[in-house]
Chain A
Amino acid sequence: AQSVTQLGSHVSVSEGALVLLRCNYSSSVPPYLFWYVQYPNQGLQLLLKYTTGATLVKGINGFEAEFKKSETSFHLTKPSAHMSDAAEYFCAVGFSGGYQKVTFGTGTKLQVIP
C-alpha cells in the first residue's frame, strides 16, 4: 500500500520568495515519486520525477525536489517564485512494480502575491 500526504492545502508566497511545498509518502517498496502541476480547468503536467539514482531532481520551470528516504519526504522547492507559478501542485507516489498506477496527494494550491 502507498499513500501521500501534502502538508498545507494552500500556500502563499510573495513574488521572488522561496517556494516550498511539502510532500511525505508511505510505501512498502522503493517508490517512484512525482510532482505535477495543474492550472485551472486543465490536465496535469509533470514537473519532475524521481525513480532511481540522484536524489536531487531538477524539473521544469526552475523547480527541484529532493528524495529523502530517511524522512520519507519529497518536498518541492523553487528559489524565486514567479506569478506564473500560481497553480495547484500534486505530489504522487508509484512504484517500479506497477509504476503506471500512482496515488495522488490532496494537492497544494500555490498563491503568488505580487
Chain B
Amino acid sequence: GAVVSQHPSRVICKSGTSVKIECRSLDFQATTMFWYRQFPKQSLMLMATSNEGSKATYEQGVEKDKFLINHASLTLSTLTVTSAHPEDSSFYICSAHGQMNTEAFFGQGTRLTVV
C-alpha cells in the first residue's frame, strides 16, 4: 500500500510554544489529507480536512487559529499547534488520499506532550 510518513513521532514542548507536525505522502499525490486527534482509550476524532492549495475545513469545535493547517503541495500537509497547553497533549494522526484511492493511508502518529 501507499506510504504516509508523519514526523515527529514524539514531541515534548513547553506550554505556550508552538509545535509543527508534518505529514508526507511518499509515493503518491495526496489531494486530500485529514488530521485526527485521539485521546487515550478513545477513537479518532476528525479535526480538519486539508485540500491541496485551499484552506482547510475544520470540524465543529476545533479552533482554526490554534490548529493551523497548511497543505502547500500534493505531498505535504502540516499541522501547527500554536500556543500549546497541557490539554493539547494528545496523539495526532494524519491520513492521506489520492484521487484513485478508496481508502485513506495513515501516518504513524505524533505523540504530543505539553509540559
Contacts and interface: CB of A to CB of B under 8 A. Distances in A.
Interface stretch (A22-30, A37-45, A66-74): A37-45
Interface residues of A, number: 21
B77 interface: no
A46 B107 contact: no
A81 to B, nearest CB: 22
A9 B40 CA distance: 13
Contact of A44 (B41, B97, B102, B106): B106
Question: Interface size class for chain B?
Answer: 20 to 34
Given A34-B103, A51-B102, A101-B34, A44 B42 contact: no
Contacts of B4: 43
B61 interface: no
Interface of B: 1, 4, 6, 9, 32, 34, 41-44, 46, 49, 91, 93, 95, 97, 102-109, 111
